[in-house]
Amino acid sequence: MQSSKQRPTNELTRRRWLQSTAALGAASLAASSGSADEPKERKGRIHQSLVNWCYKPFWEDVDDFCRVAKDLGCESIELIDPEHWPTLKKHGLTCAIAGSHGFPTGFNNPDEWDACTEKLTERIDQCAEFGVKSVITFTGMANGVPKQEGADNCVKGLKSIVEYAEEKNVTICLEMLNTRDDTHPMKGHPGYQGDDTEYCIDIIERVGSPRLKLLFDIYHVQIMNGDVIRRIHQHKDYLGHIHTAGNPGRGELDQSQEINYPAVMQALLDVGYEGYVGQEFIPTRDALAGLQEAVALCDV
């Protein structure tokens, strides 16, 4: 994320939004007038979402950000505080997945079970009331806990909360994070215990609930495991939510990074995935241009 010194002023944010919506409006006008340069019609088979923390520095006003999401053809703004869910609803959007206790804490440490369970219970109640389908959870940092012991603890701890999620028809999504990138606090998470896809899948399988699935972050999986498309097919029954970003660097989904996003999106369609794909890259240039590119690239 950018520091406060890098964040644009409200006036600059307003001006950028006005310019961006004008550009999108012009594109729509060109399409309606049959211009030779008209944009391709959206397929809409991939349900796309914008992850709030990445783009909040550029659109701090939630109403403005909702308008951008709608203009891009996205259906959701996720990991945004529940106080903003009514604003999303006003704009015809949903929150694809809710935040919870944060990745430094988790179920790998029994001392953190109470805090994690309390926060997840609160979020599950809010999700059930507002129609939000999923909430995120984490293994937590290792902090000296052996790998297998951490997995065993996660199974025990998650079993205690997943029953409540089943009652409320809310899915808990366990996220795998990379521990390799130490250049930025949101590009990698050294010390995180659940840094392997199969490790997280093992936990999910052992809990054995349809309300516990994997948050398959393509960026993190690419760094730690690779073989993304094969893993999508292998773990299709456990895919609860998807995140994107370019690798290396967690930047835009452009030609400077290594992941073939159209092929990955097609793999999701091939396995029958019907959930959301959250755009979660950290902009390195014009945020709107990057989002336009990413949304179009994933619209297969």
Q: For residue 23, is pLDDT > 80?
A: no
Q: Which CATH number fits domain 45-298: 3.20.20.150, 3.40.50.620, 3.40.50.1980, 3.30.1490.190?
A: 3.20.20.150
Give CA separation, 137 vs 101, 131, 148, 214, 273, in Å: 7, 18, 19, 10, 20
Rounded distance, CA 21 to CA 68, Å? 7
What is the residue type of 249? G
Structure-token pair, residue 217: 């972050």
Q: For residue 33, is pLDDT > 60?
A: no
Domain boundaries, the chain: 45-298
Q: For residue 31, is pLDDT > 80?
A: no
**β-pairing, 239-244 with 276-279?**
parallel
Query: What integer is the mean pLDDT of 93-117?
Result: 98
Encode pLDDT of 200-241 as tens digits.
999 999 999 999 999 999 999 999 999 999 999 999 999 999
Rounded distance, CA 279 to CA 68, Å? 13
Query: What integer is the mean pLDDT of 85-95?
Result: 98
Predicted pLDDT at 41: 81
Judge residue 196's burial from the number of C-beta atoms within 10 Å of its C-beta, 0-12 exposed, 13-18 middle, 19 or more buried.
middle
pTM of the predicted structure, to 2 decimals: 0.88
Rounded distance, CA 193 to CA 204, Å? 15
Judge residue 53's burial from the number of C-beta atoms within 10 Å of its C-beta, 0-12 exposed, 13-18 middle, 19 or more buried.
middle
Helix (H, G, I), strand (E, B) or coil at 119: helix
